[in-house]
């Protein structure tokens, strides 16, 4: 994984999706899959020495190709860096960059970005990148479609994914790009705010991040191979909603909840919380809750309480006309709905 990957990619790794074996695999002597026979045709396609360049050791091909970190895209520099990440000899089989090395070289030569299009060489790199058998076969077929002119769209590593592991990495990668765009909206949103308001927002967003990450880890079923994608989607949905809600409030459209609604909302949340814990504590191996546990919900609930308090403090600085308990009622009803979703059939 590259240094430009966000903390969300770190979370994907933390929940068990980081490659436990090298990304690439040598072609076996006795091919078991159709793509392994096909890949033998491309294993010795020569690499043009002039394309390799001399990228610095600490370069980041992913950031250079996708233009991450606020920098523009540089396919030529990305190519040289990808060759650096790919290495030579035995090192080729030890690559671990999901969006770099041989995978990125496949895209560059397929798309003719920063280098002349070379489909045979792109196929060599597709085979080096390896992956689930259906993914490799899909990429080789994709490259045939590009060569024939049937597919004129730029190729991306994530176009032909079939495995839950890659779904997780690709969802995290897409999420990184979406969050970068949202960050620009956050910056614009608070441009005219006071220092106190911006500080309160920063504190609230920090609490929100901790809560959202706990939801994605602890209140999302991680038992399937698509767990990385599901965790990413859970986080993304909450993160997108937070910005959309504040943009809504900035237009003067506040929640319909009133201060007097909080007592009932809080009572309802406590009842739901107890119900969810009881259901999870009684769960068996065949229950529909998967990896979601009572302890995980308790952890998330504590983080939600911190998030709620930070939200109310922020609202006091930015939206003082709305009573604190009105915000608490709104947030509490939302959390109640989230808890009910855990045990919904």
Indicate if 339 and 196 belong to the same structural domain: yes
Is the model's pLDDT at 13 over the cut of 50? no
pLDDT band at 222 (very low <50, low <70, confident <90, very high): confident
pLDDT of residue 22: 40
Looking at the domain assignment, is residue 2 inside a domain? no
Any domain includes 169: no
pLDDT of residue 5: 43
Q: Measured between alpha carbons, how far is 219 from 242 in angstroms, rounded to an integer?
A: 18
Average pLDDT over residues 244-252: 96
Q: Are residues 316 and 194 in the same domain?
A: yes
Question: What is the pLDDT averaged over residues 178-204?
Answer: 95
Q: For residue 138, give its domain range.
A: 7-160
Report pLDDT for 78.
96
Domain end, chosen from 116, 140, 160, is at 160
Separation CA 111–CA 119 (nearest Å): 9
The DSSP element (H or E) to which 94 belongs, if any, is none
pLDDT at 345: 65
**Residue range 33-45: average pLDDT?**
88
Tell me, yes or no, whether 33 lies in a domain: yes
Exposed e or buried b per residue across 181-213, where buried means at least 16 C-beta atoms within 10 angstroms of its C-beta: ebeeebeeebeeeeeebeebbeebbebbbbbbb
pLDDT tens digit sequence for 266-311: 999 999 999 999 999 998 776 788 899 999 999 999 999 999 999 9
- Point out the domain boundary residue: 114, 142, 160: 160
Number of separate domains in the chain: 2
**Residue 106, in any domain of the structure:** yes
Q: How far apart are CA 179 and CA 6, in angstroms?
A: 10
pLDDT category of residue 16 using cuts at 50, 70 and 90:
very low
The Cα 287–Cα 265 span in angstroms is: 29
**Do 232 and 315 share a domain, yes or no?**
yes
In this structure, the answer to whether residues 133 and 202 fall within a common structural domain is: no
Note the pLDDT tens digit of each residue in 43-54.
999 999 999 999
Residues 151 and 265 in one domain: no
Helix (H/G/I), strand (E/B), else coil: 54: coil
The predicted-structure confidence for 306-343, as pLDDT tens digits, reads as follows 999 999 999 999 999 999 999 999 999 999 999 999 99
Is the pLDDT score of 19 beyond 70? no
- Based on the fold, state whether residues 229 and 325 are members of the same structural domain: yes
Q: What are phi and psi of 4, to 5 degrees?
A: -75, -15
Clarify whether residues 211 and 275 are in a common domain: yes
The rounded mean pLDDT for the chain is 89
- Does residue 72 lie within any of the structural domains? yes
Residue 283 in any domain: the answer is yes
pLDDT of 118 above 70: yes
Residue finishing a domain among 117, 140, 160: 160
Q: Sorting pLDDT into bands at 50, 70 and 90, what band is 132?
A: confident
Between these two residues, 151 and 71, which has the higher pLDDT value? 151
pLDDT of res. 36 = 85
The answer to whether residue 185 sits within a structural domain is: no
Kindly state whether residues 154 and 217 are assigned to the same domain: no
Residues 26 and 148 in one domain: yes
Are 146 and 281 in a shared domain? Answer: no
Distance (Å, rounded) from C-alpha 216 to C-alpha 342?
Answer: 12
Per-residue tokens: 197? 């308001």
On whether both 141 and 205 belong to a single domain, the answer is no
Contact criterion met (CB below 8 Å) for 98 and 18: no
Instruction: Convert the pLDDT of each residue in 61-109 to its tens digit.
Output: 999 999 887 678 999 999 999 999 999 888 888 887 889 999 999 999 9
Instruction: Say yes or no: 203 and 92 in one domain.
Output: no
């Amino acid at each position: 994984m590259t240094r430009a990957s966000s903390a969300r990619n770190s979370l994907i790794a933390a929940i068990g999706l980081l490659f436990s074996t090298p990304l690439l695999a040598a072609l076996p002597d006795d091919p078991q899959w159709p793509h392994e026979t096909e890949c033998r045709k491309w294993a010795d396609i020569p690499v043009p020495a002039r394309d390799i360049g001399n990228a610095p050791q600490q370069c980041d091909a992913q950031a250079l190709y996708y233009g991450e970190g606020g920098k523009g895209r540089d396919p030529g520099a990305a190519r040289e860096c990808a060759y650096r990440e790919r290495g030579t000899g035995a090192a080729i089989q030890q690559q671990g960059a999901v969006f770099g090395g041989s995978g990125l070289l496949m895209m560059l030569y397929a798309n003719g970005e920063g280098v002349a299009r070379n489909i045979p060489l792109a196929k060599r790199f597709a085979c080096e990148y390896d992956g689930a058998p259906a993914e490799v076969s899909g990429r080789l077929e994709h490259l045939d479609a590009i060569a024939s002119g049937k597919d004129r769209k730029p190729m991306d590593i994530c176009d032909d994914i079939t495995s839950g592991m890659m779904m997780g990495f690709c969802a995290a990668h897409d999420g990184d790009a979406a969050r970068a765009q949202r960050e620009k909206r956050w910056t614009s949103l608070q441009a005219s705010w006071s220092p106190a308001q911006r500080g309160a927002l920063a504190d609230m967003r920090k609490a929100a991040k901790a809560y959202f990450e706990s939801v994605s880890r602890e209140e999302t079923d991680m038992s399937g191979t698509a767990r990385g994608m599901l965790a990413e989607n859970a986080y993304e949905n909450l993160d997108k909603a937070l910005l959309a809600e504040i943009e809504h409030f900035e237009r003067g459209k506040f929640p319909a909840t009133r201060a007097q609604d909080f007592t009932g909302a809080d009572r309802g949340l406590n009842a739901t919380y107890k119900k969810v814990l009881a259901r999870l504590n009684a769960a068996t191996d065949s229950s529909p809750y998967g990896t979601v546990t009572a302890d995980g919900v308790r952890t998330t609930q504590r983080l939600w309480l911190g998030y709620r308090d930070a939200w109310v403090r922020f609202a006091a600085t930015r939206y003082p006309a709305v009573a604190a308990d009105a915000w608490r009622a709104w947030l509490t009803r939302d959390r109640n709905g989230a808890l009910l979703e855990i045990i919904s059939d």
